[in-house]
Amino acid sequence: MAERLFILNGPNLNMLGRREPHLYGRVTLAAIESRCRVVAGELDFDLFFAQSNAEGQLIDWVHQAFDETAPVIINPAGLSTRSVALYDALRMLGRPIVEVHLTNVFARESLYQDVLTAAAAWGFLAGFGAEVYEMAMRGLAAHLSGGGRPCG
């Protein structure tokens, strides 16, 4: 039976492919989702993939992941540096969380470098573009199967 996996995307990620392509590339969120669905099939994940510009909606989905005891991959985007509420929601999950960012937030302006939500994560990937999603899925699958190293 497939394990449920939530991949959640925060504000402005619906604009990928059009927003600052010199930073984020030309790949769209729909293309990322399509690739994630292929990888989910390979790894036997039942994928819930969603994006919202609303902090409260992301928190509701984290609560749903809690109720379904599902691991989470999250790109909180701009909420990563300021959302105590999202951080608190992530902290209550009893399953691994991987935070991903398309760009290397630590090589960007200082306002992107204080990544609050990452403190709730088991793993963190940044700077590899859209590939961070697949990398996170594969790392998470290895960890859940007992083949990954402990982190955190």
Distance CA 14, CA 28 (A): 8
Helical spans, DSSP H, in 10-54 = 21-24, 29-43
> Is 22 considered catalytic here?
no
- Residue type present at position 6: F
Q: Which of 134, 123, 114, 126 is nearest to 90 (CA)?
A: 123
Beta bridge partners of residue 126, listed in sequence order: 101
- Specify the DSSP class assigned to residue 118: G
Is 104 annotated to bind ligand?
no
Distance CA 128, CA 138 (A): 14
Is 88 annotated to bind ligand?
yes
Is 28 annotated to bind ligand?
no
> Is 101 considered catalytic here?
yes
| Annotated catalytic residue, options 24, 87, 112, 133 | 24
Is 75 annotated to bind ligand?
yes
| Annotated catalytic residue, options 101, 112, 133, 143 | 101
Which residues are annotated as part of the binding site? 75, 88, 102-103
Annotated binding-site positions for substrate: 75, 88, 102-103
Residues noted as catalytic: 24, 101
